[in-house]
Amino acid sequence: MLAADTGLTREYSETIGFVLSSLLCSTINLEELKQWCYQTISDLGVNEAHAYLFDLSDHSGTFVGIYRPLGFVSSWQRSAEESARCMALP
C-alpha cells in the first residue's frame, strides 16, 4: 500500500486528520479511537504501521497534546457541509 493511500503520513494526512477531527468534535470517543488504531495496525501489519498508532492506542487523559505522538498536525480537507455533519453527529 502506498503511503498516499493510507492518509496517515505528514504529506498525506487526510485519514488521521478525519479521525482526530471526529474525536475532537466528540463524534467518536477515546475508546473508539483506540479501536480504530488497533484495526489500522492490524490492517497495515505491525511492521508497516506508523509508530504513532501504537502511542494513540495507549492514549489516556485529555486531548491536550493528542497530536504530539504524530509529530505533525494532520489535516482533513472538508466542505462546510461535511464539517457541519461531523459536528451534528452524537
Range of the domain at 56: 3-88
Mean pLDDT of 10-31: 90
Q: Please report the pLDDT score of residue 68 as a whole number.
A: 86
> Is 45:83 a contact under the CB 8 Å cutoff?
no
Q: Which of 2-11, 50-59, 77-86 has the lowest mean pLDDT?
A: 77-86
Tell me the C-alpha to C-alpha distance, in Å, between residue 42 and each of 20, 45, 49, 50, 74: 19, 5, 8, 12, 22
Q: Total domain count for the chain? A: 1
Predicted local distance difference test score (pLDDT) of residue 89: 56
pLDDT digits (tens, 9 = 90+) for 33-78: 999 999 999 999 999 999 999 999 998 877 778 888 888 888 777 6
